[in-house]
Structure 1
Amino acid sequence: MGQSRCSEGESEEPDRKPGLDPEMENQKVRVGESVFSVDRALLTRNCEYFRALFQSGMRECQQEEIHVKGLRARGFLVTLSVLNGERPILNGEEIIEAIECAAFLQVDALTKHLINIIHSDNCLLMYHTAATYGLWELYHSAALFIRDMYRDLEEDARCLPDELLQYVESLVPSTYVTVGTHSPTIKLLQDFQRTVCYLDEDEKEWKVLTDLPVDASTTMAGVTVLNNKLYIVGGVRDVTNQVVEPCFCYDPVIDTWSTFVSPQQLRYNFTLVGHEDYLYAIGGEYERTTMSSVERYKLSTCTWSFVSHLPRPAAGAACTKAMSRIFVCLWRPMDTTDIYEYVPSEDRWVHITALIRQHSYGHCMVAHRDNLYVMRNGPCDDFLRCMMDCYNLTTGQWTAMPGLYENSEGALFTAVVRGDSVFTVKRKMTLEYTIEDKKKWKPKKEMNGFPRIGSMWTFLLRLPKMGKLPRGQGVLNGYEQNLENNVYHQKSPPSQCTD
């Protein structure tokens, strides 16, 4: 882990960030046996402890050297590296010491970084240590992660105190949810297939969660989840590509659809991603013209506004979030897939890396830990095969994944990561993979497929434990079709939906 501008012991004056007052003095801070020279402005902006101290007028804030007791130097060094924009990957002892600093100094940026690096190897340590030091945001986030992986972690989780184990078990796990491609309909002709469905992993069956609103379209729409709510923006009505203007939001907790205003620039075949308090509508098409414009919708004010354009026009760009960072794949002639990161705090796009593969471009991208997995068509534009490459954000290295990720239905171009598992869905089979380091995805469990034609949107939602889900008693795979009169009927009585 680099020390960036702050180093242990007496050091030269660090380089200052652009925009800081050049007259602002450095502050010496003693932690244990080490002394750090740190920009006072950096501490004031980011640490509630130092902000309160410097504004208190107490004698200590005028001292050349402030002695912070009860913390360890390595934890403080991690804190400084995060405040200077680094994203260190931490081992067990560093995690404990960083949590101590985050709790004592009240450093929100460090807490967020710790949340971003939760994974299966450190989640139990994060959870227990956060409970010990009262870092409740990290405590809750680690508990949710453990709940999502509870079947895999249950034996190891027995080492937790009973009250911590009970809290994990009280939470609702993430459920795999899918919606097919549908155009608006009219109420009298509401198609029973216009539904949002969830996967009952115990029964290995898809069940109906809710009906789509009659005016909603998922054909070339933007679909995403933010704060456990499903958002559908845009989409088209028919072959004329007339854009659907109302936008829709589904809250599974209260089982209610609501509408909100459309983007200023109508668009279809675009990418929608949720991040913090915003929805981002990235690129897309309008009147058969590919666009580079990007808009974001602020949930707290219910308003759309334009942000920095994409580096070039793009429609249906593959996008994912890793460690709370937004990444997008853009194609470039001569077999190149560029990966850009959008940095919200600076409102700019940053080129991260490029993948060059002959006659092959990235069509789907998912993230696991600090890895980006790019699924692409096979050589010579073979869209019935899927190959994959992994890019590690920490090392900046690409790794070619062995094998082809496909079945008889063709390529794998939709996937969702939960814990160490990847769920992929097609008409005949839903397959769960286990991610083994970054070298291989190993098939883990097969379940029934999603019996819908066309493209599919896949995501995770935390569904309520109790109460009747609106259409949840129906089992999708329990329907058979009478091909002569195009009438659907159930093979057997519907099963009861329970969580």
Structure 2
Amino acid sequence: MSFSCRIFNSVMSANGSEAETDSSCDGADGRHASGPVSAKLTVVVGSTHFSEEKMFLVQSCDYFRALYRSGMKECRQEEIHLNGLRARGFLIALAVLRGEKPALDGDDIVEAIECAAFLQAASLTTHLINLIDSDNCLLMFHTAATFGLMDLYHAAALFIRSMYTDLEAEVKKSLPSELISYVESLTPSVFAAVGAHVTCVGDETVHAASRTVCYLDETGNSWKVLTDLPLQASTSMAGVTVLDNKLYIVGGVHGLHKQVVDACFCYDVKDDSWSRISSPAQRRYNFSLVGVGDRLYAVGGEYERTVMSSVEMYDVTTERWEFAAHLPRPAAGAACTKAMSRIFVCLWKPMETTEIYEYISRKDEWRLITTLIRHQSYGHCMVGHRDNLYVMRNGPSDDFLRCLMDCYSLSSGQWSSLPGHFANSKGALFTAVVRGDSVFTLNRSMTQEFAVDSKNWKPRRQMKGFPRSGSVWTFMLQLPDALTLK
């Protein structure tokens, strides 16, 4: 059901409500508190009445969860009044809690932030964070500060800081001094890279000097060393990703026979330190590693030259791996990305069919969302920006040096081809990382920044390429001042 139609089914008059009664008051954990309440609850926001399943609200919002654990008289009432909120904001909250991803304009954003702060609805806060862009980031930041929605406040400030060159004049014109100071106290994310290196032990320490993670100093247009890789770490055919500003390196290979490396590592930029993490149960290499929320997902890959469909997820809180639903078919080195806090994998059927699957975490399943048929020679790269997935590929065999790009809109479910093409003779665009409303691409000759404008990528800057041969992993990291000054 569309968001616009939701209002007709969610909003009801005070006299039209029908509540089913129960003899208990359900708590958030399924236990009961004393006193009779209805299985359905009428929530009054202003003059508008909403009839909702009580357990749905309890499971979705900290406000209702706390209310029904408190034992207060309200948990026995069939009608709850939320004073100070507006009906439109509550309607938006209900839509998001049901799994919808509505686009929001200025007034909607303000009311949604107010509602997210009051209800302490984590999923609504996450949705708002996913919607941050150059047009609404100042509104998001200022409104989140007003209502104390701290996760959104910090995320919007980071976005502004990363786009500060473009936004500085408007920031200083429209924001109060204390908010400007907070933005300027943050360090922007930097474009970082690491080449493909095998483990370095015994007599091989001669290669240790080149085993570094580097970042691009955009002011000086030079690459600088951030940290050395642990000697036992391999980035050759490994899983490499960043989650919560920490760099993870999982698996990889060593030697001509592709011996799997068991050692897995996490680099914390805050402490400038490496630590070991546990290894996946299934040994694998040439797989995709992506992080969403508080979990890493190791997707597909190979073991003993056999392509696999297995998927494992690592909970960074419990520090444990567990298996998730298998891919629809075996895949190695599959293009994988995240967008709108959702995971997508691109499975290619040579020589022309691209299928994009989404991992539905609440159901632990992979769901086909779209298919694209394009003749190509080889290769895929996929990057997510807001609610769009950009798929890059080589052209057909008679013109394979062209990098062609198609865009899939998650909101509309429609494909579109980006105008023109991108030269790919030196590998450009087969690594792409988003920062704010920009995308960074890299090869040995150049680093390019593209401004993402609707369905177009417009070149903004060209900087120094990464002076390493072979495969390269790229990502964004927010570095403390102490690291950039060392």
**CA distance 1:359–1:24, change in 2 (3 Å):** farther
- TM-score normalized by structure 2? 0.90
The equivalent of 1:173 in structure 2 is: 188
**CA deviation string 1:226-261 (max 9, x = no partner):** 121111111111221111111122122222222223
Q: Measured at CA, do residues 106 and 56 of structure 1 come closer, stay the same or move farther in structure 2, by a change above 3 Å?
A: same
Shift in Å, 1:416: 0.5
Structure 1 pair 382–313 and aligned structure 2 pair: CA distance change class (3 A): farther
Q: Which moved more, 1:410-419 or 1:64-73?
A: 64-73
Task: Name 2:23's counterpart in structure 1.
Answer: none
| Equivalence map 1:186-335=2 (5 Å) | 186=201, 188-333=205-350, 335=352
- Give 3-state SS (helix, strand or coil) of 2:376's partner: coil
CA displacement at 1:115 relative to structure 2: 1.4
Alpha-carbon distance in 2 for matches of 1:261, 1:309: 21
Letter in 2 for 1:165: I
For 2:42 and 2:232, the matched residues in 1 are separated by 62
Q: Does 1:141 align with 2:128?
A: no
Q: 1:458 aligns with which of 474, 477, 480?
A: 474
Distance in 2 (CA, whole Å) between partners of 1:157 and 1:302 is: 40
Q: Tell me how many residue pairs correspond in the alignment.
A: 463
- The more displaced of 295-304 and 34-43 is 295-304
2:197 is the alignment partner of 1:182 = yes
Deviation of residue 346 (structure 1)? 2.0
Distance (Å, rounded) in 1 between the aligned partners of 2:374 and 2:229: 39
Q: Secondary structure at the match of 1:109?
A: helix
In 1, distance between residues paired with 2:104 and 2:377? 35
Determine whether 1:84 maps to 2:125.
no
Mapped to 2, the partners of 1:335 and 1:13 lie a distance apart of: 54
- Are the aligned partners of 1:30 and 1:65 in contact in 2 as well (CA < 8 Å)? yes
Residue 411 of structure 1 and its aligned partner are, at CA, apart by: 4.6
Partner of 2:485: 498
Give CA-to-partner distance per residue, 1:354-377, whole Å, 9 cap, x none.
111123566111111111100111
Aligned-partner Cα distance in 2 for 1:262–1:137: 31
For the residue of structure 2 that corresponds to 1:2, the secondary structure is helix
Contact 1:361–1:377 under 8 Å retained in 2: yes
Corresponding position of 1:484: none
**Equivalent of 2:175, from 148, 157, 160?**
160
Instruction: Return the alpha-carbon distance in structure 1 between the equivalents of residues 154 and 268 of structure 2.
Output: 21
CA distance change for structure 1 residues 150 and 459 in 2, over 3 Å: closer, same or farther?
same
Q: Is contact 1:236–1:244 with CA below 8 Å preserved after alignment?
A: yes
Q: Which amino acid aligns with 1:279?
A: L
After TM superposition, give the deviation of residue 121 of structure 1 in Å.
1.1
- Unmatched runs of 5 consecutive residues or more in structure 1: 15-19, 470-496
Shift of residue 63, structure 1, vs aligned partner: 4.1
Selected match of 1:72 from 64, 68, 86: 86
- How far is the alpha carbon of 1:140 from its aligned partner? 1.1
Deviation at 1:294, TM superposition (A): 0.7
Tell me, in whole angstroms, the C-alpha distance in 2 between the residues paired with 1:343 and 1:297.
16
Distance 1:340 1:80 in 2: 26
Deviations 1:133-178 (A, max 9, x none): 1111111111111111111111111111100110111112111000
CA distance in 2, matches of 1:217, 1:384: 30
Q: Are residue 344 (structure 1) and residue 361 (structure 2) matched? A: yes
Distance in 2 (CA, whole Å) between partners of 1:408 and 1:310 is 32
For normalisation by structure 1, the TM-score amounts to: 0.88
Q: Is the helix fraction higher in 1 or 2? A: 2
Give percent identity, aligned residues only: 62
Looking at structure 2, the residues matched to 260 and 316 of structure 1 have their Cα atoms a distance apart, in angstroms, of 22
> In the alignment, residue 203 of structure 1 is paired with which amino acid?
G
Superposed displacement of residue 405, structure 1:
1.6
Are residues 57 and 208 of structure 1, via their aligned partners in 2, closer, same or farther at CA, if it must alter by over 3 Å? closer
1:398 maps to what in 2?
Answer: 415
Q: How far has the Cα of 1:383 moved from its partner?
A: 4.3
Give the drift of 1:215. Answer: 2.3
Partners of 2:120 and 2:6 in 1: CA distance: 21
- Matched to 1:442, the amino acid is K
Q: 1:447 aligns with which of 463, 481, 484?
A: 463
- The one-letter amino acid paired with 1:228 is N
Contact 2:265 2:274 (8 Å CA) reproduced: yes
SS at the partner of 2:41? strand
Q: State the secondary structure of the residue aligned to 1:113.
A: helix
**In 2, Cα distance between equivalents of 1:361 and 1:97:** 47
RMSD over aligned Cα atoms = 2.2
Q: Which amino acid aligns with 1:8?
A: V
Cα distance in structure 2, aligned partners of 1:332 and 1:105: 46
Q: CA deviation at 1:3?
A: 4.2
The residue aligned with 2:34 is: none
